[in-house]
Amino acid sequence: MKVAVVRDGQEQIIRLPAGFAISGDEIVLEKRGEEIVLLAPGVERSTARFKTWNELIEHFREKFPERLEWEEPEDLPPEPAPEW
């Protein structure tokens, strides 16, 4: 969805549509590469929680137990870095 960006001096203001209204007067702003992400305060940041694929799979098993059987992930060694 595209939204309006308004300049106010050195700052830019993003106008959120009514369907994206938040409770409170603060929001968490993160930059992930070229993406700008807005999160409500207290929202779990899933990108930082899991250090391994096994942790991620276990999270989904607990969160969605009614889903199909989850395959065991292979615990593969890291790929060697390319030689430049």
pTM score, whole prediction:
0.43
Q: What is residue 10's predicted lDDT score, i.e. its pLDDT? A: 94
Average pLDDT, consecutive stretches of 10 residues, N- to C-terminus, the chain (84 residues): 91 89 84 82 66 79 72 74 80
Tokens 């779990």, located at residue? 44
Give the per-residue pLDDT at 59.
Answer: 80
The two tokens of residue 35 are 């993406």
Residue 7: per-residue pLDDT: 93
The pLDDT score that the predictor gives to residue 26 is 87
Beta strands in the chain (DSSP E): 5-8, 11-14, 28-32, 35-39
pLDDT of amino acid 45: 63
Closest CA to 3 of 18, 20, 15: 15
pLDDT of residue 11: 94
Q: Residue 5 in contact with residue 12, Cβ under 8 Å?
A: yes
